[in-house]
Chain A
């Protein structure tokens, strides 16, 4: 029984937000989808908790009633029609209750599933998310190619608008999951699928890859940045622009270094000769909070450390080390930090 109580206690504690400074939690919904699921979770939880208590009570009661302390094997209980009859009724009723309970769970589950998955808007914001080992390519497709925003790992969405996520994968299977927002969806190579959500409260919601995808599965995070419609549109306008022209001499030299070293083999910076799509688009890299798929803060030091030896930070990552001279490194970092 103590274990049963601790089960309740810990669930109650888990509900108390004060214990969860990260607010990264399945049961702290920021979207109606996660909200429906949270409701279903608690509904099923309390049903099952009651079942648990009853079953443990039954076993404990049976044990207490029937227990005999003896050293050797006891004689066999004589056949007792009466007892069998009563046991039959008890087992039969328990089975009936089980079936009824399961039916309730089934119906609620299917209804909740419909509420989570049914799309209610004709005018959603559509976002294409493509999984890569080990980062997320994010684009906001538009019929006009030059109106398509492409970024990585940070997904800006307007609060209160329906969002449709189109999924795809470039290599292995990944799974897109932001616990506060909605359930996960696998990104499968060879398949594209769509699901939707809508975020109520502005904020930054962390997400990560949930399907094991190789060496750096642990460092494949993303974030969903929910902001007001105005902020979102401003962000989008900014992202549509070509890369900012470097203004300082150091940044100008940084661009030179970028375009004459291995960087341009993998990365795009719109407005320059760098146009490869193998790695994340860096046109507005300075506008992001984090780098390396939410592994490091977007600071000069972290950026420099990442450029020189990404294999130390994310062993196995597709980016190779860049043994730049200190001056070159500083220049590239200055250039990248100017790409707002």
Chain B
């Protein structure tokens, strides 16, 4: 604490006026929030995966009296997920360069892929070979894929909104950073989607 006997000294200053007002990547605060958000959602997926395997230990047969879900739509969707990484990567790369046209095109393709994945997902539900009311196995399959569909839908809407913004002059600075963060989130949707696929299509067949 300043003693009264000391001469009063003028504080020094730290001038921050030259600092940028837009940050991309890990320095962006929204990026950090998105990481926390993915941690929360990732934790939910992890616990659902754990639930799936826990319930498996309580059953002698797995899937109990059902055929494993048919591969058709699930495999097609996995392929879409993998290809969709390209526009997401493009947006993420070009946004910091201020390349609004590339970002817009990337968002357009990403939105189309997300739309295709969502539509295919609707068909995927018809080929699960079970209903959620059948037994605990069926409930887990439906809820796993249902939770992921929720994320898919959220991401679809977010991408469409960003796409709409990208047609306005507001697609500047912070919004470009948001578009790049949106790509991070798409990666998360893709990774969890593939993990859900491995669980419900893969482990029922091969494990």
Question: A and B touching (C-beta < 8 Å)?
Answer: yes
Please report the number of residue pairs spanning A and B whose Cβ atoms sit closer than 8 angstroms.
Answer: 3
A contact patch SS: loop
Instruction: Answer yes or no: A75 CB below 8 A from chain B CBs.
Output: yes
Set of chain A residues within 8 Å of B1, measured between Cβ atoms: 75-76
Mark out the residues of chain B between 123 and 147 whose CB falls within 8 Å of any chain A CB in the assembled complex. none
Mark out the residues of chain B between 1 and 16 whose CB falls within 8 Å of any chain A CB in the assembled complex. 1
Chain A, Cβ-Cβ closest to B58: A190
Chain A, Cβ-Cβ closest to B1: A76
Mark out the residues of chain A between 55 and 80 whose CB falls within 8 Å of any chain B CB in the assembled complex. 75-76
Measured CA separation A300–B189 after assembly (Å):
69
Measured CA separation A76–B1 after assembly (Å):
8
Measured CA separation A75–B1 after assembly (Å):
8
Measured CA separation A190–B58 after assembly (Å):
10
Mark out the residues of chain A between 71 and 122 whose CB falls within 8 Å of any chain B CB in the assembled complex. 75-76
Measured CA separation A190–B57 after assembly (Å):
13
Set of chain B residues within 8 Å of A75, measured between Cβ atoms: 1
Measured CA separation A178–B182 after assembly (Å):
59
Set of chain A residues within 8 Å of B58, measured between Cβ atoms: 190
Mark out the residues of chain B between 47 and 80 whose CB falls within 8 Å of any chain A CB in the assembled complex. 58
Set of chain B residues within 8 Å of A76, measured between Cβ atoms: 1
In the assembled complex, how far is the CB of residue B109 from the closest CB belonging to chain A, in whole angstroms?
49
Measured CA separation A190–B59 after assembly (Å):
12
Chain B, Cβ-Cβ closest to A75: B1
In the assembled complex, how far is the CB of residue A324 from the closest CB belonging to chain B, in whole angstroms?
42
In the assembled complex, how far is the CB of residue A290 from the closest CB belonging to chain B, in whole angstroms?
37
Measured CA separation A188–B94 after assembly (Å):
58
In the assembled complex, how far is the CB of residue B55 from the closest CB belonging to chain A, in whole angstroms?
12
Measured CA separation A76–B3 after assembly (Å):
11
Chain B, Cβ-Cβ closest to A73: B1
Measured CA separation A75–B5 after assembly (Å):
14
Give A317-340 as 1s and 0s: 1 = Cβ < 8 Å from B's Cβ atoms.
Answer: 000000000000000000000000
Set of chain B residues within 8 Å of A190, measured between Cβ atoms: 58
Chain B, Cβ-Cβ closest to A76: B1
In the assembled complex, how far is the CB of residue B64 from the closest CB belonging to chain A, in whole angstroms?
15
Measured CA separation A339–B58 after assembly (Å):
43
Chain B, Cβ-Cβ closest to A191: B58
In the assembled complex, how far is the CB of residue B136 from the closest CB belonging to chain A, in whole angstroms?
11
- For this complex, 3 residue pairs linking A to B, each with C-beta atoms less than 8 Å apart, are A75-B1, A76-B1, A190-B58
3 interchain residue pairs of minimum CB distance: A76-B1, A75-B1, A190-B58
